[in-house]
Amino acid sequence: MIRRLYILVIIVCAALSNAKAQNKEYPFSIRHYNFINYSSNKLQFVTDSENFDMFYSKLSKLVLNGQGQINIVQIGGSHIQADIFSGRLRDRFQNIAGGQNAGRGFVFPYKIAKTNNPSAYHFKYSGKWIYCKNTEKKKTCNLGIGGISVYTQDTTSSLRLLINNDRKAYYSFNKFKIFHDVDSSAYKILIDSALIKSKYVNLDDAYTEYELNTYVDSLDISFAKSDINQKGFRLYGILLESDKSGIVFHNIGINGASVPSFLRCNLFEQQLKVIKPDLVILGLGINDAYGFKFSQVNYEEHYDSLVSRILSAAPNTAILYLTNNDSYIRHRYINRNGLKVEVSMKKLAQRQHAALWDMFEVMGGLNSVVLWKREGLTKRDKIHFTKEGYLLIGDLLFDAIMKSFGNYLELSNNKSEDYNGLIKHEP
């Protein structure tokens, strides 16, 4: 217990200090670059946010007492689908003080949809499948929180999930939920009966939940047609969960996605309600603002609609906006829409009592992407980051959240008293 609290003290104190002179003991030190605006690396609150207070209260209880489970959802486009940026945040959050890994969260067989998969897990599959993504405007299909679905009518189809565990994180699970159509036309799901402790089909929210007898790091799923009325099976995603206290970090990203892309997801609220997010990080905008006909009015209206849907599903969730990264259009033209998105997001954050992380300003402002590229932190297109760039962005955002969390703890008198005593009692 003392060890857990002492580590928290170090983290909070270091996060509250200037980023250029971080404490050597701080376990999440950030590499220094002259062009990064470290003084702007903080969460901005234009108005009070009761939902953030609730999130920080829950986070402090988890870190201090080792109790409870927190769900964080990050939504975006290609910056998020690859899960390098979000993966860094997941790693940081789940290792705040002695380990808060409560599970991998949302996973999907992206390979079936002929697109890239996060490196932490992979799916093998058999049979014939078709796919639908929220970026495909000409297709009509049901879509959920993940913005993607796959469908099969082939009874020989199967899925095999394999967790790529490494020395940093072990994402075995003993619970999982499968989001899928649960009406009379759906094939039956087949799971090894020796593994199953209990099974529950939620007809209202359209998922099947399994509890297992043991923790596993792989899963085989097959399907059976047990009734003449059954036509096929549609999968929207799988939630990997556990009984452990800690943090579950869900990355939700579709390459090329904009805000309207997720507005097309008709099952979005239904499935988000099942996740029960404590914090939703919104990083959509780089695709909305790509080009020379960007409309701030439309952008704000679209985001207002999306956040309204998020809050209808999870009224107590904290909302964190991320401004766009500085970028270029067609490799050649400075994208000045980043400035407009910055203005719009400040308005949105104020209206919705949300927080804002100004990534555009932290990067160094307009045309700073050139300096990031020079250091090997962005790719040639001057839109996407390299792996090193995504890791740096993840560290910067985590540091900004920890500063805000530290401010919350400082304002809590009972917590301040605990710190005064703990600093004198190192392990």
* CA distance readout (Å), 381 to 26, 145, 171, 367: 34, 29, 34, 13
Answer yes or no: do 270 and 208 share one domain: no
Residue 206 clears pLDDT 50, i.e. is over it: yes
Residue 411, pLDDT score: 85
Which of 89-103, 111-125, 288-302 has the lowest average pLDDT?
89-103
Whole-number Å distance between alpha carbons of 277 and 309:
13
Residue 424, pLDDT score: 30
37 inside domain = yes
* Percent of residues, the chain, with pLDDT higher than 90: 82
Of 243, 261, 293, the residue that ends a domain is 243
Residue (of 112, 135, 110) closest to 120 by Cα position: 110
Residue 23, pLDDT score: 41
426 inside domain = no
Residue 135, pLDDT score: 97
Residue 111 clears pLDDT 70, i.e. is over it: yes
406 inside domain = yes
Question: What domain range includes position 258?
Answer: 1-101+246-420
Residue 7 clears pLDDT 60, i.e. is over it: no
Which of 9-13, 88-92, 167-171, 258-262 has the lowest average pLDDT?
9-13
201 inside domain = yes
Q: What is the CATH number of the domain that holds 64?
A: 3.40.50.1110
Of 208, 228, 243, the residue that ends a domain is 243
Answer yes or no: do 299 and 358 share one domain: yes
Answer yes or no: do 278 and 381 share one domain: yes
Answer yes or no: do 171 and 293 share one domain: no
Average pLDDT rounded to a whole number, residues 82-110: 92
386 inside domain = yes
Residue 426 clears pLDDT 50, i.e. is over it: no
**Domain total for the chain?**
2
Residue 382 clears pLDDT 80, i.e. is over it: yes
Residue 24, pLDDT score: 39
**367, 339 in Cβ contact below 8 A?**
no
Per-residue pLDDT reduced to its tens digit, 28-40 = 678 899 999 999 9
Average pLDDT rounded to a whole number, residues 222-245: 95
Average pLDDT rounded to a whole number, residues 266-282: 98
* 7 vs 82, higher pLDDT: 82
425 inside domain = no
Average pLDDT rounded to a whole number, residues 147-158: 97
Residue (of 33, 36, 42, 39) closest to 368 by Cα position: 36
* Percent of residues, the chain, with pLDDT higher than 70: 89
Residue 154 clears pLDDT 80, i.e. is over it: yes
- Mean pLDDT taken over the chain: 90
Answer yes or no: do 254 and 392 share one domain: yes
Answer yes or no: do 264 and 358 share one domain: yes
Per-residue pLDDT reduced to its tens digit, 295-350 = 999 999 999 999 999 999 999 999 999 999 999 999 999 999 999 999 999 999 99
Cα torsion 177, 182, 188, 191 to 10°: value is 10
Residues 6+ apart with CB under 8 A from 102: 69, 70, 94, 241, 242, 244, 245, 246, 247, 248
56 inside domain = yes
Q: What is the CATH number of the domain that holds 114?
A: 2.60.120.1360
Answer yes or no: do 264 and 409 share one domain: yes
Beta bridge mates, 412: none
Answer yes or no: do 184 and 331 share one domain: no
| Confidence band of 230 (pLDDT split at 50, 70, 90) | very high
Residue 423 clears pLDDT 50, i.e. is over it: no
Answer yes or no: do 331 and 303 share one domain: yes
Residue 2, pLDDT score: 43
Answer yes or no: do 233 and 261 share one domain: no
**306, 261 in Cβ contact below 8 A?**
no
Of 243, 276, 302, the residue that ends a domain is 243
Answer yes or no: do 403 and 264 share one domain: yes
Residues 6+ apart with CB under 8 A from 225: 155, 187, 188
427 inside domain = no
Answer yes or no: do 273 and 401 share one domain: yes
